[in-house]
Structure 1
Amino acid sequence: MPPRKRPPANSKFQARKPADPGVHLEPFLNYLEAECGMALNTVSAYRSDIVQFLDWYRKQKPIPLSEVDLKFLSGYLQHLNKRKLAATTVSRHLVSIKLFFRYLVLEGILAESVADLLNSPKLWKYLPKVLSPEKVNELLMAPCKEDRYPLRDRAILTMMYATGCRVTEIVSLPVNAVKLQEGYARCVGKGNKERMVSLNPVAVAALEAYLQHERPVLAKRNQSEQALFLNRSGKQLSRIMVWNIVKKNAARVGCSKEVSPHTLRHSFATHMMAGGAEIRALQELLGHANIRTTQIYTHVDHSRLKAVHQMYHPRG
């Protein structure tokens, strides 16, 4: 019996190449933004993670998504570990993959999500770095005449420390959301959740000076811009610009190179705890969805813990 001939390359019996899973990326991102209400920065982070996963996926033996198993996904985690990424970064990638696969199940593309079987890497709980109240005062007064817009920079620093707002919340704050006479502002945080933040007298004075002397000059270049903090072109200040402002002034007062805009948020929270703020109130002020995120500041405030120990311990 003659040997069976192999079908030609263009035969209808040829095995079909699995459909590229990248077709689900944009619908997934739209789902995160429209239905989950995630912030644009969060959606952008998920995009980056999933794009990296899909690039790795395409380089493997071609299999459909329905045949992806735990061993296959474990291979991707090994790939991330070989890149010597931090455990927190690997954990974030894993969260992105799990959410992507859950979306595919929700859309009926997959029957179940095998990604949920993956275990997250164990993470050390890093305590956030904070500045002392004295060092914060130095930082707030650091902007000087050498800067192009010192009043704007001081207003940014004082507002970040007064409110504990994230950088994104500061740069996206519209000018009409700030009520100086009443001493508060309305900011929009993660998940498009709006909250009220208080402005102390130092922040109010810095904002008044900026609004009176520098913002009108900047606004002339782009009168349609509604953001509170503007760049020299009259457009909304970017997150990178705020990062540069904090870094430059932190260096002036001798702060560590690790100081960032988030350091002011951590300092705000820690100093509030030291002043006796209740953790539930602090959760609202910071805009944390989960109180467990806020609880880290109970570990940072050593002075308060020491005072409690001295007050209640029989040998205190």
Structure 2
Amino acid sequence: MDFSNWQVIKKEFEQFLKFERGLSINSIDAYLNDVSKFQIYCEDNNLGLNQVARKDIQHFLQWLQEFNISPFTQSRLISGLKTFFSFLIIEHELDNNPTELLQAPRLSRKLPSVLSIHEIDQLIAAIDLSSPEGERNKTIIEVLYGCGLRVSELVNLKISNLFLDVEFIKVEGKGSKERLIPIGQQAIKHLRLYLDSVRPHIKIKDGNEDIVFLNRRGSALSRVMIFLIIKELAQKIGLQKTISPHTFRHSFASHLVEGGADLRAVQDMLGHESITTTEIYTHIDRDYLHSIITQYHPRS
């Protein structure tokens, strides 16, 4: 194996991530971007991949510190390099793994921003329903909040995966893993209204026939478009919080946990591999309870 041919190696690594690991396009891009940074370092220092030692990885990370990278980015870089060298050992019989003993920096877990039920009602009430796009946008918010979808899951949602009669939808999450999610009556009502009254009047482009949410030109909505819709609504009601499509996913989970939902059930609905990821919403619940005590208890 020619360990100096980066283009071939990166192409094979991309295929490995896609077919062996089943990662999403965004995750693959992040891994390849990290490997490209390491390629620049190696080429500047005349290092072949089969010559890299642990001290070289450490020097690389120190080199990156000049660009003021965050602990989160550094942790992701280490994870990406570990995966990359594991791939080289598995696929190309590299003799040693220089990342084996590397440890990522400990990260403090930041609690996600959530919306109150009142704020969600305000956002929905601010939607102009006089246009077809307004009914579509209302349906988008209802589905985001009603099912806790990731934005990628929303824009790729298919009509053939809507089982509204039994109140479930099927989505394809990270790593092409499918899951069933229960859907509430409000989201069902607006989905049916949009599908029956708005979508039939759109001239659909080839390849988008099964996509639920379309723009006026008949193509699937982009992730950026969903961000813009939500940003515009937040500005309309004067919301001070910085929100994104993911805020509705956090709010969905937080409100379920606050209401006493079983954490395993919330984990399944969100599509989290580990329950520790879902447990962050119990911290949000504790913060909420603490704020209630602070506000109302006479001895606080």
Q: Does 1:249 align with 2:271?
A: no
- Secondary structure in 2 matching 1:262: helix
1:33 corresponding residue in structure 2: 18
Shift of 1:261: 0.8
Task: Give the direction of change, closer, same or farther, for the CA distance of 1:214–1:20 in structure 2 (3 Å limit).
Answer: same
1:11 corresponding residue in structure 2: none
2:286 corresponding residue in structure 1: 302
Displaced runs of 4+ in structure 1, greater than 6 A? none
Match of 1:222 among 189, 196, 205: 205
Q: Does 1:75 align with 2:59?
A: yes
| Range 154-163 or range 70-79, more displaced | 70-79
8 Å CA contact 1:274–1:303 kept in 2: the answer is no
1:21 corresponding residue in structure 2: 6
Superposed CA offset, 1:228-281 (max 9, x none):
111122111111111111111122222235211111111110000011111111
Q: Distance in 2 between matches of 1:228 and 1:246?
A: 18
Mark the structure with the bigger radius of gyration.
1
Shift of 1:79: 2.4
Match of 1:175 among 152, 159, 164: 159
1:239 corresponding residue in structure 2: 223
> Normalising by structure 2, what TM-score?
0.90
The Cα RMSD (Å) is 2.3
Matched-pair identity in %: 35
Q: Distance in 2 between matches of 1:176 and 1:30?
A: 29
1:54 corresponding residue in structure 2: 39
- Secondary structure in 1 matching 2:260: coil
Q: Distance in 1 between matches of 2:30 and 2:264?
A: 29
Q: Distance in 2 between matches of 1:248 and 1:273?
A: 29
Shift of 1:109: 3.7
Shift of 1:138: 1.3
Residue identity opposite 1:34 in structure 2: F
Task: Give the direction of change, closer, same or farther, for the CA distance of 1:217–1:58 in structure 2 (3 Å limit).
Answer: farther
Shift of 1:41: 2.1
1:278 corresponding residue in structure 2: 262
Shift of 1:81: 2.0
Q: Distance in 2 between matches of 1:183 and 1:143?
A: 25
Q: Distance in 2 between matches of 1:48 and 1:257?
A: 31
Task: Give the direction of change, closer, same or farther, for the CA distance of 1:54–1:274 in structure 2 (3 Å limit).
Answer: same
Q: Larger % of helix: which? A: 2
Shift of 1:304: 7.0
Q: Distance in 1 between matches of 2:236 and 2:42?
A: 47
8 Å CA contact 2:161–2:170 kept in 1: the answer is yes
Shift of 1:67: 1.5
Q: Does 1:189 align with 2:173?
A: yes
Shift of 1:288: 0.1
Task: Give the direction of change, closer, same or farther, for the CA distance of 1:147–1:129 in structure 2 (3 Å limit).
Answer: farther
- Structure 2 segments unaligned to the other structure (5+ residues): 294-298
| Range 266-275 or range 122-131, more displaced | 122-131
| Range 20-29 or range 241-250, more displaced | 20-29
- Structure 1 segments unaligned to the other structure (5+ residues): 1-16, 310-314
